[in-house]
Structure 1
Amino acid sequence: MRANRKYDSEFKREAVKLVVEENRSIREVESSLGITHGVLKGWVQKHRDQQDPAVVAQRSTEAELKQLRKEVEKLRRERDILKKAVAIFSTDPDRYSDS
């Protein structure tokens, strides 16, 4: 068995199904399928997290918060640019007019 073996999503799904739906132990499934020790535990946890409404809601909230923080930062930069523009144009109003 080689290290860093890649498993396709169907294989992972079926391995998790053996643990979750057929109540087989993680070690037993890893051994029978030749999966590196400890890998299946992560797949099972990920599956359970995806099924848990609280975890799904938390991820959604975190994604929204990240997006809002990014938007706030953009708005702050735009505000700062506008403040500088007002300061420039208010120092000598005739300087920038066509008159």
Structure 2
Amino acid sequence: MTKRQRRTFSSEFKVDAASFVLDQGYSISEAARSLDIGDTALRRWVDQLKIERGGETPTVKALTLTFPRD
């Protein structure tokens, strides 16, 4: 049996993938299937992006880039 290597994704990819669900109306299953990623990972990214867009400070590494305010 072959052990599957854990894949890593950039923050940009995660935001784009979550945006398919939040902004373009795809279901998590549809988006995950078309991007060849797991439903659970995508669901986590969607939840995290919702939190960040709501202005809350994430408890894990942020998906979105933050810039200092003037």
In the superposition, the TM-score normalised over structure 2's length comes to 0.67
- In the other structure, the counterpart of 2:42 is 40
- In the other structure, the counterpart of 1:18 is 20
- Greater RCO between the two (CA within 8 Å, min separation 6)? 2
CA RMSD of aligned residues (A): 1.5
Gaps of 5+ in 1: 60-99
**Runs ≥4 residues deviating over 4 A:** none
Shift of 1:3: 4.7
- In the other structure, the counterpart of 1:30 is 32
Q: What's the % identity of the aligned pairs?
A: 31
* AA matched with 1:48: K
CA distance in 1, matches of 2:39, 2:20: 16
Report how many residues are paired: 54
2:8 to 6, 9, 24: 6
In the superposition, the TM-score normalised over structure 1's length comes to 0.49
Structure with max Cα Rg = 1
* AA matched with 2:22: V
Q: Compare the two structures and name the one with the higher helix fraction.
A: 1
